[in-house]
Structure formats: C-alpha cells, structure tokens
C-alpha cells in the first residue's frame, strides 16, 4: 500500500548548536563545576529566604540554655537560649552579600585598569602599573581594622567596599598580561586597520577572549572576601550585631563552647564555611579546566588510561602438552615436552595439524678439523 506524497510529514532538522552554546555545555558537563554550582545555589537560596524561614528570632532568648539539637531546636541553643539554626539562616545573607559585592567591584576595577593598561601601553601603562603595584602591597586586614576603629558601626557594605578597594590589584596584573598578548593578534590589527575606535576593539575583540580569566578572578575575589569578612567578625572587629557565620563563631568562642562540650554551637557554622569555600573552589577549578585545553587533555588521557588498564587482556600459555611430555618413561621427557609444545603452537598458528609428528631434522655436519698438511716427522 502506497502513501500519498501529500500525507508524508517532513521533519525539519534540528539546528546545530552555536559555538557559545557548545562552550557552555562543555563547561557545565564537568562534575566539579556541577557540584560547585549546586552547593552555591543552595546557599544562595538560603540567603534569599533564610530570614523568612528561620523558626525563631536570632536575638530572642529563652530558658532552654545550652540545649543539644532536638525537635524544637534542630541545631541546639546557645548559652543564653538563642536558636543556632536561626542564626545560621539569617547570617547566610550577610556572608554572601559581602562576598559578591566585594567580588563585583574588585573585578570591575581590575578590568578597567588592567585591560586599559595592557592595551594602551606607553606612559598610561607605566602609571597604571605603578598604581597596581602600590595597591598590591597594601594589606587588607590591618586597613579594615584601622577603619573599623574610627567607624563605630562598620556595616557589611563598608567592609565590602574596603575589601574591593584593596583586592583588585592582583586581578589587574593578570588581565594586563593577557591583554599584552592579545593586542598584537591579527584580528586586533585588522580592526585597527579598518579604523575601529579603541572602545569597540576592547569591547568586541579583547574582552570576549578574557571572559574566562575575568570569571576566575571574580570567584577568587569572592572566596577572599568571604573568608576575610568571617575573620573580621570572629576577632570582633566587625559589627557583632549583624549576624553572619563569623559572629556565631565569635560568640561561641567568647562563651567557651568548646570547653563546655557544646559542639552544636560552632560545628554548623564551620561546616557552612567549609562547604561554601569548597563550592567556590570547585567552580574555579572548572573554569581553569575550561580555559586551559592542556588540563582537559590530561584529564581525558588519564581516564582513557584507566579504562585501558582495566580491560587489558592477559595471555595464558597452555602447558598441557608440556606436562604430558615431561611424564615420559624413556628418559627424554624434556625433549618430548618441548616437541609437544612446539606442535601445539604450530597447530594453533595454522602451519600444520596439532597431532602431527614434528619433522626430523638432519643433523648438522661436523666440520672437518683434519689439518691440511701432516706434521713433519
């Protein structure tokens, strides 16, 4: 039965993915990247809805003093009866807020100064490089301590601004070095020859090739800002009225929670810090593998080597004929065994039947050692 041509449905071929889409899929295919993004997404969700889902007010005191985890208080209570889970949920927002704000502004400064310095060159490069070198030697922690001593309530925004102001220089140096290697490429020279303005060359020719480096610098700055902000809260420099994970550790250390055996007071905050740092580090590792083809090649080669070693065949020698030959009663068992093994091999190779007798070899002729001339008497 034939089908009319008008009733045959024609399916359009799916469009091929664009290079940018293929790059995104390759970046998200790695296990490290997916794990890091999943953990970071979980903490971001807690930062958004944490104050709303907190079961108690983190500042509210109760008569349940220093109680271990229970149904009413999942993470236990403090020495003054405050709920630890509520403090962790409310403090997540402050930690991520400082980290991402400091990372954003530090990345913007590093891009503006580093790319401009590397692309323009000349006197501008020398001035901006000297400025970067000056900020490289300014320590962030002592500067923040000095500012906090003069400002009564150093909030999260002020701490984020100071961290961004003191942590952009190393990213600018990296971007300057990358820009110096890109500004002499053929496509950049072609854009200059066609009369493209400088801002367009930087925005459409230089910046797309620096995206992965900028992303890696942003993640590294976020890690630095989070750890520095928690450190400031732990030593009591930051405003301890604003809840974050460092504040929880500060009150636990001040009330000697470890000496009292109240592990539930400081362990949750420490685990959150470790998980967030691990997530950001995994994302940074994924960016490095995405940028560096050598890392992707080494990872794939090691995986292939493991599979190849796991399925390597093992050659086994059949010693049946050799055993039969060794058991002869005529005293020549070793010779017969070797002949049997030779016959088996010849039969397996297809040169003759396995049961055929081996051909007799003609004994080699012994060379005549008679001297040409007889000795004289």
pLDDT in tens, 248-279: 999 999 998 999 899 999 999 999 999 999 99
pLDDT of residue 236: 83
In-domain check, residue 241: yes
| Rg from Cα positions in the chain | 38
pLDDT in tens, 61-84: 988 888 999 988 999 999 999 999
In-domain check, residue 252: yes
| Confidence tier at 179 by pLDDT (50, 70, 90) | very high
In-domain check, residue 335: no
| Confidence tier at 316 by pLDDT (50, 70, 90) | low
Confirm if 210 and 107 have CB atoms less than 8 A apart: no
The pLDDT of residue 48 is above 90 = yes
Counted residue by residue, the chain has a size of 377
Choice among 40-49, 115-124, 233-242 with the minimum mean pLDDT: 233-242
| Confidence tier at 323 by pLDDT (50, 70, 90) | very low
Comparing 225 with 147, which gets the higher pLDDT? Answer: 225
| Confidence tier at 112 by pLDDT (50, 70, 90) | very high
Vertex 110 angle, CA 126 and 139, to 5°: 85
pLDDT of residue 109: 94
Task: Calculate mean pLDDT across residues 356-361.
Answer: 53
pLDDT of residue 226: 93
| Confidence tier at 342 by pLDDT (50, 70, 90) | very low
In-domain check, residue 101: yes
Q: Which of 347, 289, 351 is nearest to 318 (CA)?
A: 347
In-domain check, residue 17: no
| Confidence tier at 344 by pLDDT (50, 70, 90) | very low
| Confidence tier at 345 by pLDDT (50, 70, 90) | very low
pLDDT in tens, 191-212: 989 988 988 999 998 998 898 8
Four-CA torsion 234, 239, 245, 249, nearest 10 degrees:
40
pLDDT of residue 248: 94
In-domain check, residue 18: no
Task: Calculate mean pLDDT across residues 345-349.
Answer: 44
CA within 13 Å, CB half, 308: 6
Choice among 40-49, 212-221, 232-241, 266-275 with the minimum mean pLDDT: 232-241
Task: Calculate mean pLDDT across residues 12-40.
Answer: 68
| Confidence tier at 147 by pLDDT (50, 70, 90) | confident
Domain that holds residue 54: 26-299
pLDDT of residue 156: 83
Q: What residues have CB less than 8 Å from 216, skipping those under 6 apart?
A: 284, 287, 288, 291
| Confidence tier at 362 by pLDDT (50, 70, 90) | low
SS3 state of residue 77: strand
In-domain check, residue 128: yes
In-domain check, residue 377: no
The pLDDT of residue 327 is above 70 = no
Q: What is the CATH number of the domain that holds 162?
A: 1.10.3720.10
pLDDT of residue 298: 53
Total domain count, the chain: 1
Say how far apart CA 52 and CA 293 lie, in whole Å: 44
Ranked by mean pLDDT, which of 230-239, 284-293, 339-348 comes out on top? 230-239
Question: For 306-336, b where at least 16 C-beta lie within 10 A, e where not — what string?
Answer: eeeeeeeeeeeeeeebbeebeeeeeeebeeb
| Confidence tier at 86 by pLDDT (50, 70, 90) | very high
User: From residue 108, how far is each of 134, 161, 188, 210 by CA, in Å?
Assistant: 18, 12, 23, 13
């Amino acid at each position: 039965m034939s089908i009319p041509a008008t009733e045959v449905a024609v399916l359009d071929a799916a469009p091929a993915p664009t290079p940018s889409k293929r790059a995104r899929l390759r970046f998200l295919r790695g296990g490290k990247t997916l794990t890091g993004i999943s953990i970071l997404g979980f903490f971001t969700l807690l930062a958004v809805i944490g104050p709303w889902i907190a079961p108690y007010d983190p500042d509210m005191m109760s008569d349940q003093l220093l109680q271990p985890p229970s149904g009413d208080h999942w993470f236990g209570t403090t020495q003054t009866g405050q709920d630890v889970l509520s403090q962790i949920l409310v403090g997540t927002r402050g930690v991520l807020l400082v980290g991402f704000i400091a990372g954003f502004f530090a990345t913007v400064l590093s891009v503006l100064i580093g790319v401009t310095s590397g692309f323009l060159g000349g006197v501008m490069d020398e001035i901006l490089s000297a400025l970067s070198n000056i900020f490289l030697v300014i320590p962030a922690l002592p500067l923040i301590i000095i500012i906090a001593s003069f400002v009564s309530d150093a909030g999260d925004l002020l701490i984020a601004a100071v961290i961004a102001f003191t942590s952009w220089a190393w990213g600018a140096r990296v971007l300057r070095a990358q820009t110096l290697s890109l500004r002499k490429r053929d496509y950049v020279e072609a854009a200059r020859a066609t009369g493209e303005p400088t801002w367009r060359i930087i925005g459409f020719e230089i910046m797309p090739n620096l995206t992965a480096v900028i992303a890696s610098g942003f993640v590294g700055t976020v890690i630095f800002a989070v750890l520095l902000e928690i450190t400031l809260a732990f030593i009591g420099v930051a405003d301890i009225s604003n809840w974050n994970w460092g504040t929880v550790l500060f009150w636990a250390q001040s009330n000697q929670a470890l000496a009292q055996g109240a592990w539930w007071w400081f362990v949750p905050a420490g685990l959150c810090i470790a998980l967030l740092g691990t997530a950001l580090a995994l994302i940074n590792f994924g960016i490095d593998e995405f940028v560096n083809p050598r890392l992707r090649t080494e990872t794939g080669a090691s995986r292939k080597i493991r599979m190849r070693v796991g399925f390597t065949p093992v050659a086994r020698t059949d010693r049946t004929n050799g055993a039969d030959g060794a058991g002869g009663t005529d005293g020549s068992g070793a010779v017969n065994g070797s002949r049997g093994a030779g016959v088996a091999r010849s039969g397996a190779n297809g040169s003759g039947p396995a049961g055929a007798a081996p051909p007799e070899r003609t004994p080699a002729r012994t060379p005549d050692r008679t001297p040409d001339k007889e000795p004289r008497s």
